[in-house]
Amino acid sequence: MSIKEMVLEKAKNAKQASRILAKTSTSAKNNALNAMADGLLSAKDELKRENEKDIAYAKEKGLSSALIDRLTLNDKRIEAMANGIKEIVALPDPVGEVTRMWQRPNGLRIGKIRVPLGVIGIIYESRPNVTADAVGLCIKSGNAIILRGGSEAINSNIAIANILVRSAMDAGLPEGCIQLIDITDRQAIMEMVKLDEYIDLIVARGGLELIKVVSENSTIPVAKHSAGICHTYVDADADLQMAEDICFNAKVQRPGVCNAMETMLVHKDIAHSFLPRMIQRFKEAGVEIRGCAKTKKIVPDIIDATEEDWWTEYLDLILSIKIVDDINEAIDHIMTYGSHHSDAIVTKDYDRAMKFLNEVDSSAVYVNASTRFTDGNEFGLGAELGISTQKLHSRGPMGLEDLTSQKYIIFGNGQIRQ
């Protein structure tokens, strides 16, 4: 069977299954999800064994330690995958929720009700936990799913998907509701994004090259989880200890993820008191610092930041720093170089906090907190299919409600239009 035929067959099977899944009861979906979570926990050794193959391949390719960390599965992360699915079970089922109802003068009662999108295709790189999160969210929201992960996690993704499929089938979900494209040839992506007759939404989650390929070639609506060039602005009125802790967490806790800080902006009035200690703490954690000319005057032994640095998502222990004159310059920098993902201000001034919230056009904007919280689980969504940095149809972490549409329902008693 050719790649084109294989992808088409999976899409057709998913479409057929989606019609059954759309009317599957909440209890049946939850039973299946609980079985999937238990299946992952009982297969820890198998999952780690398959993951070791991907880690070895990643090291051969020379991937950074941060990217290898994203790829790694251990007992704690497998338990987190299972717990994420169980948290989805505990969330309300959005399908069938009547979000609004009103009556017209002619007696018609008109409402809006949540319905599944149908078939969701997700194209993603690295992070094998995405496989479990995506399946859990799609099943709970009544959608069939087609998964196409990256080559760097192929063995892990196959192992996870096989467990989830077996558990779903044993629990009585329709055959075909979970599909994995288990070949790494990029032609599979090109075939998948043309199947608008069968797939209702493509979620693209990965590097800029992947996002560009999917966006330029898809005939299906695309929700983009693109670059995470996240900023933290330390204002003149910031609590400096709080700012230090927030910035350190945002950069160092997990540098290889999309919500990690890549650029730190610092108000000129506190730069001399804040930067030397902050930079020293970063250096002790192994962070390479690239600073603007003003930053280098305060801490000379750092690398010169270039124009390219402001545009770069490092996904590593590298940080660019710029000193700004005021909040307006900070906002201008973020709006020029940012990716509309997650940006934060550290300040004690209410008016400047509100100005930052109102004027920074990102999917998540923080006051006095780390950008590392931009995550479906941390937001109480159970998990996320991706973090959409665009505005239609969803923005920010995509949870259950974001995987539904709405249709009008109209109740009459014989009305005809005059």
Distances (CA, A) of 384 to 175, 247, 285: 24, 24, 30
Per-residue model confidence as pLDDT tens digits over 135-193? 999 999 999 999 999 999 999 999 999 999 999 999 999 999 999 999 999 999 999 99
Per-residue model confidence as pLDDT tens digits over 358-396? 999 999 999 999 999 999 889 988 788 888 888 878 889
The full set of domains in the chain, from first to last, is 3-225+389-411 (3.40.605.10), 230-373 (3.40.309.10)
Q: Identify any residues that bridge with 148 across adjacent strands, giving them in sequence order.
A: 123
The reported pTM is 0.87
Amino acid at 162: N
Residue that has been written with the tokens 């730069």 in this structure: 271
**Do residues 29 and 17 lie in contact, with contact meaning Cβ atoms separated by under 8 Å?**
no
> What is the pLDDT confidence band of residue 38, given thresholds at 50, 70 and 90?
very high
Closest to 376 (Cα-Cα) out of 391, 392, 394: 394
CA dist., res. 244 & res. 388, Å (int):
28
CA dist., res. 59 & res. 54, Å (int):
9
CA dist., res. 237 & res. 349, Å (int):
6
Closest to 265 (Cα-Cα) out of 354, 318, 331, 330: 330
Per-residue model confidence as pLDDT tens digits over 272-328? 999 999 999 999 999 999 999 999 999 999 999 999 999 999 999 999 999 999 999
Measure CA of the first residue to CA of the last residue in the chain; give whole Å: 57
**Do residues 7 and 181 lie in contact, with contact meaning Cβ atoms separated by under 8 Å?**
yes
Q: State percent of the chain over pLDDT 70.
A: 100
